[in-house]
Amino acid sequence: MVGAMPVLLAAAAALFAPKGSKEERLDLFGWLALSASTVGAALIVLGGSRETAALGGPTLTGDLMILASLVTSLAWILLSKKLMQTHSPLVVTAYTILSGTAMLAVWVLGPQLLAPLTHAVVQPLPFAHVSLTAWVALAISGLFCTATTTLLWNWGIHHVPASRAGVS
């Protein structure tokens, strides 16, 4: 399914491109490259072993979660591309990281904050006993791995059509 992302990106970029815009349209070579990558991904999937879900194989729930992840990624890429028409890649990256952090904080801290109102019994926060070394490593990883790669990705799709970014 993840191997289909470049095709989804190219199709969505062409579909949602402004009227008359030729920038997001792929040429014949681009579509042939995407088709070849999709065939390759299909061959990998179809050549795998067939396990039952009880043994850790594929499930409908897992497949739907991957599909939702692909659609979310597609929306993020196209929205970032649209935002970078008026804002720099650095600004878009900063707001992307900040909004993701806010959503994660709500997800993790929400049950703790709502516990007095709902009278629910909640477990202690999962990071209550994490060492300072682990926090420093996490901060460095977040800054140099996540933030830097997101900035580089945004810089790339700012300079390259989104439909072509999935091909490369």
DSSP label at residue 2: G
3-state secondary structure of 125: coil
pLDDT score for 79: 87
For residue 63, what are its two tokens? 């497949």
pLDDT score for 71: 86
DSSP-H helix ranges across 47-88: 60-83
For residue 15, what are its two tokens? 């579909």
pTM of the model: 0.67
Phi, psi of 23 (to 5 degrees): -60, -40
DSSP-H helix ranges across 25-129: 28-46, 60-83, 89-118
**Per-residue model confidence as pLDDT tens for the chain (168 residues):** 666 777 777 777 767 766 556 666 667 777 787 778 777 777 776 665 555 555 667 777 887 888 888 888 888 888 888 898 899 999 999 999 999 999 998 988 888 888 888 888 888 777 778 888 998 999 999 888 999 999 998 898 888 776 666 555
pLDDT score for 159: 85
